[in-house]
Amino acid sequence: MRKRSLRVTVLLLVVLSLFTGFLTGQPLAETRSAEKLTILATTDIHGNVWGFSYEDDKETTNTGMARIATYVEAVRGDEEYVILVDNGDVIQGNIMTDDLFNKREGDHPVMRAMNLLGYDAMTLGNHEFNFGEDLIKRMQTLADFPIIAANMARVDGTMAAVPYIIVERGGVKVGIIGLTNPNAPRWDGEKTDPFVFSAVGPAARRVIDIIADKVDVIMVVSHVGIYPEYDEAEGSDGGNKILELCPEIDVLIVGHDHNTVKEIRGTSVIGGARNLGREVIRIDLTLDANKHIVDRTIAIVDMADWEPSDLIRGDDFIIDAHTETRDYILGGPVGDDGQRSGGIFGQAAATFQPPNEIRGIPEGKLRDTAVMDLINEVQLKNSGADVSAAALFADTSDIKAGDINYGTIFGIYKFDNTLYRVKVTGAELKAYMEWSAACYNQWVPGDISISFNPEKPGYLYDMFAGVDYEIDLSKPAGQRIRNVIYKGKPLSDTEELLLAVNNYRYSSALKAQKLVAATKEWESPNSIRDMLVEHIQEQGVVQPKVDNNWRIVGVDLSSPYRNEVIKLVNDGKLEVPYASSLNINDLKKKGVIK
């Protein structure tokens, strides 16, 4: 492994309070001053070490840590003073991480790759908490670099992670502050019980007040987007609040929302990148003899132009992890127990998902489909509940006709969720359904397509089984659910039912939004993915079945121009109408149709 040219010495002095532990660095003496400092940052890699889509069994062409390694090596060859950091959501995201190495002891391919790359620090993303405290402790043990998060602590008041570090490059001292996403409890519930979290802006402010006179450059690595996700009023989970409270920040790294960010705001440089290692953030700072920044530039570097490095793909442990994952999916060699791992375990009699009428608009969110009915059927079967709710996590999720392996299941259910059963009233269920239906935009006259609220990501849209219902898109959000029928009768507000829902939705919606009063009464011992595998194994051959228990109403998508306009979209001559419907009146005003 490449040795770092400069070492970071971190000394823990004192924990001031729940959130205000501090560290200081005693750097080695340097004989030469840096004129230029290069900062490289990655974010939301989601376990993509090799540059491979395991569910598709295909190499990627523009993602993965192996490509990042090539780029980092090139930069280090060109620049004398380089800092490399990661912004979290690195340990979760594919079959290799979630189904194999996150559930066992010992080395981990993601941490091995990060050590090989010589990261200086990383902050914790919200998905680092998906597997509980034990995995975070394991990461901290395996990492050859500090894992930093200044806005979290243990419930007993002790530090849960290093709040910041000071590194030195060419005599320039750089304070690097980590901030995790304070919404982690909203998404991971009891898995975050050992920790308490605070708002990102005030936490950054407290640390900067401690280190400002000890460093020349202040950098914040924060696993939040620029704009708050939930707390619009106070901005406790947004990068803008960090900059508002801490205008002296020189570099702010953001992430979490998988968006490219490239901005210089006053004297602060702000960078964010797309997920899976698709992009690397590069920031170059020029300093004068007094170590003051006199120039700053930012580039977001696409990894499509870089070939994978043998630094990662030549490592024996990573090779073995990659091979084991493919064997797990496709069927590897026979083991000592005489059993073959993974492989094909079922057949689909036909393709489950209907083709999209409009490019980029998933039919699976416009009508009931066999994929969602399968997931909800399995949830009802395993939970014994009356009603089930589940989401189509990816717009491309499908079960194709033919062989089914574990990659197929990951493709329709990409998260390692467990299943909960909770008692709800009819009124609570309807409130939950309204919350879900807010993912659509309201239909207006002239619309010939249905579109989705850009403020509500698709993975928040749940579809329900066990009840029949209609979604009236002529109505505003909160007034859309109509004609809810349970066991052949209108569902009364006082009737009690048992609801099957995954652990993420239970925490992030039912409890965080205060939609349901009761607490869960049962949790599955295995994951929903495991339940799907078991169900298909039992069936052998699965038929796509659709009960059409829900439909969208209150819209009129007909128009003599409809086929013409849809063809323009499908031919790439009009933008995909995902966040804004195709509206005939608007298109006429723009001269698109006449």
Is residue 306 a contact partner of residue 66, using CB atoms and an 8 Å limit? no
DSSP structure class, residue 237 = T
Q: With 70 as the cut, is the pLDDT of residue 150 above it? A: yes
227 Cβ contact list (under 8 Å, min separation 6):
238, 239, 240
**For the chain, first and last CA: distance in Å?**
64
Q: What does the pLDDT average to over 218-233?
A: 95
* Alpha helices in 334-425, H assignment, sequence order: 370-383, 406-412
Check residue 244 and give left, alpha or beta (phi > 0: left; psi -120 to 50: alpha): alpha
H-helix or E-strand containing 241?
helix 239-245
Name which of 46, 88, 394 is nearest 224 in CA terms. 88
pTM higher than 0.85 for the full model? yes
What integer pLDDT is reported at residue 342 of this predicted model? 61
State the Cα–Cα distance between residues 537 and 205, nearest whole angstrom. Answer: 54
Tell me the average pLDDT of the chain. 92
Beta bridge partner(s), residue 582? none
pLDDT score for 332: 56
Indicate the SS3 state at residue 38.
Answer: strand
Give me 193's structure tokens.
Answer: 């019980």
> Is residue 512's pLDDT more than 80?
yes
349 class by beta-carbon count within 10 Å (0-12 exposed, 13-18 middle, 19+ buried): exposed
φ and ψ at 227, to 5 degrees? Answer: -100, 145
**Model pLDDT, residue 228:** 94
The three-state secondary structure class of 169 is strand
- Cα distance between residue 43 and residue 541, in whole Å: 40
Contacts of 312 (CB under 8 A, 6+ apart): 49, 50, 64, 65, 66, 69, 113, 116, 117, 318
Percent of the chain with pLDDT over 70: 93
Please, are residues 84 and 280 in contact by the beta-carbon 8 Å criterion? Answer: no
Residue 8: the pLDDT is 35
Confidence band for 34, pLDDT divided at 50, 70 and 90: confident
Q: How confident is the model at residue 32 (pLDDT cuts 50, 70, 90)?
A: low
Question: Is the Cβ–Cβ distance between 150 and 223 less than 8 Å?
Answer: no
- Per-residue pLDDT tens for 294-304? 999 999 999 99
Q: What pLDDT score was predicted for residue 18?
A: 32
Query: Are the C-beta atoms of residues 468 and 474 closer than 8 Å to each other?
Result: no
Confidence of residue 28 (pLDDT cuts 50, 70, 90): very low
Q: Are 403 and 342 in contact (CB under 8 A)?
A: no
d(CA 382, CA 386): 11
CA dist., res. 101 & res. 49, Å (int):
13
Structure tokens at 168: 């030195």
With H, G, I as helix, E, B as strand and everything else as coil, classify residue 406.
helix
Amino acid letter, residue 36:
K
Comparing 21-30, 453-462, 575-584, which segment has the lowest mean pLDDT?
Answer: 21-30
Q: Are 529 and 375 contacting, i.e. CB atoms less than 8 angstroms apart?
A: no
The H or E element that residue 176 is part of is strand 172-179
- Whether the pLDDT of residue 363 is over 90: the answer is yes
Strands 520-527 and 418-425, bridge-based pairing = antiparallel
How crowded is residue 300: how many other Cβ atoms within 10 Å of its Cβ? 16
| 337 band by pLDDT with thresholds 50, 70 and 90 | low
Beta-bridged to residue 245, according to DSSP, are none
Can you tell me which residue has the tokens 């609570």?
428
